[in-house]
């Protein structure tokens, strides 16, 4: 079977969808989300409904409870592509 045309060459990407939480306001609010296409420096997340995704936030990924500072790179509907940044850049 051949590779998809235009598919990224990054083999470290994990395609499995994982539950996560967008942590807002010094972690006082947590918005449930799904983490998709996670790799070392970026991910795609989705939220239910019309809830907006802030420009910068911390992302908690289950089941290992990994924390990442994130910056939104692009948005479409209830999805956002985020860059995993250094902690100093988090909101």
Hey, where are the domains in the chain? 18-89
pTM attached to this predicted model: 0.72
CATH number for the region 18-89 comes to 2.40.10.220
pLDDT (tens digit, 9 = 90+) per residue, 22-66? 998 777 788 999 999 888 899 999 998 766 788 999 999 988 888
The pLDDT score that the predictor gives to residue 52 is 74
13-19 LR contacts (CB < 8 Å, sep 24+): 13/37, 13/38, 13/39, 14/38, 14/39, 18/61, 18/62, 18/63, 19/61, 19/62, 19/63
Kind of pairing between the strands at 79-85 and 66-76: antiparallel
Give the model's pLDDT for residue 28.
78
């Amino acid at each position: 079977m051949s590779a998809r045309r235009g598919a990224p060459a990054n083999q470290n990407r994990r395609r499995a969808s994982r539950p996560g939480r967008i942590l807002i306001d010094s972690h006082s609010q947590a918005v449930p989300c799904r983490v998709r296409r996670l790799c070392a420096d970026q991910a795609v997340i989705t939220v239910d409904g019309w809830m907006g995704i802030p420009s910068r936030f911390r992302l908690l990924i289950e089941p290992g409870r990994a924390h990442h500072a994130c910056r939104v790179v692009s948005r479409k509907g209830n999805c956002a592509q985020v860059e995993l940044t250094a902690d100093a850049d988090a909101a």
